[in-house]
Amino acid sequence: MHKHHNGLKTAVLFGVLWAVLLCIGGLIGVGTRSSAPIWIFAAIGLATTAYSYWNSDKIALRSMQAYPVTEAEAPGLYQIVRELSQRAGQPMPRIYISPTPAPNAFATGRNPQHAAVCCTEGILQMLDARELRGVLGHELMHVYNRDILTSSVAAAVAGVITSVAQFAMFFGGGGGRDNRNANPLALLALALLAPFAATLIQLAISRTREYDADEDGSQLTGDPLALASALSKIEGGVRQYPLPQEQSLVNTSHLMIANPFKRGGGLTTMFSTHPPMKDRIARLESMAGRIGR
């Protein structure tokens, strides 16, 4: 597959996340004269990350009420996934279907040996076999590129930064003797800006992975225009059948091939976990032109 320097990108983005976290920790240390809070939050974050990563498939599938299907029940779906898995030289993932009319799909699992692919009933009804193959190629590459680990760690670290920043705001503004050296305004600004920065970095990681999975998945299928056509249909279908913004679905939405919620404009688009669909389609059409398809 094409090299995207994912390791370097991830290292840089995580470096910024941890730099923000250490900066908050330093201010808390000045304000409380103790470094214990930063270590407590870090430990909580690591524990959350480990649990989310190890159980990522169960959590995501449960949120979509997905059920496993056999090859007799979904022969076409099995045929596509088996062919793509063999082409990639990877084991066959488990296959699930989610009983919702909202057109979407996702792959999850901590590694290719524990992977699962889920399609909604809506996407199976909407796409033809060629378009569905493009979508499944995209989703399988998320697993093969180890994106589940990256997104789990990014989400956990961003959550720790948010919690620590809130802690800083709570304890930084007092007038007690122990925090007389703290600057309440600085702590307040950090408490507001740090979660914002962490969210932006997390979204950058997610958006980068979507572009990479589009490209790698199209190389796997050899048909970027099939994915472009599928994305165009999915965008219209999501507008017609958006998922409710329940917390369990929000936590899973970054795994899906398209943002499953009703979209607004302005800031709503900026804070989406997925890149603009028109940009993804344009990239795929450009890729098709380069390979002469």
Question: Catalytic site residues?
Answer: 139
CA angle in degrees (0–180, nearest 5) for 44-47-48: 85
The structure tokens 């997104």 sit at: 151
Report the 10 Å Cβ neighbour count for 242: 14
Report the 10 Å Cβ neighbour count for 244: 10
Of how many residues is the chain composed?
293
User: With helix as H, strand as E and coil as C, how does 243-287 read?
Assistant: CCCCHHHHHHHHHECCCCCCCCCCHHHHCCCCCCHHHHHHHHHHH
Give the CA distances from residue 90 to residues 84, 87, 135, 250, in Å, rounded to whole numbers and listed in that order. 9, 8, 17, 29
* Helix%, strand%, coil% for the chain, nearest 5: 70, 5, 25
Instruction: Report DSSP state, residue 242.
Output: P
With beta carbons less than 8 A apart as the criterion, state whether 140 and 84 touch: yes
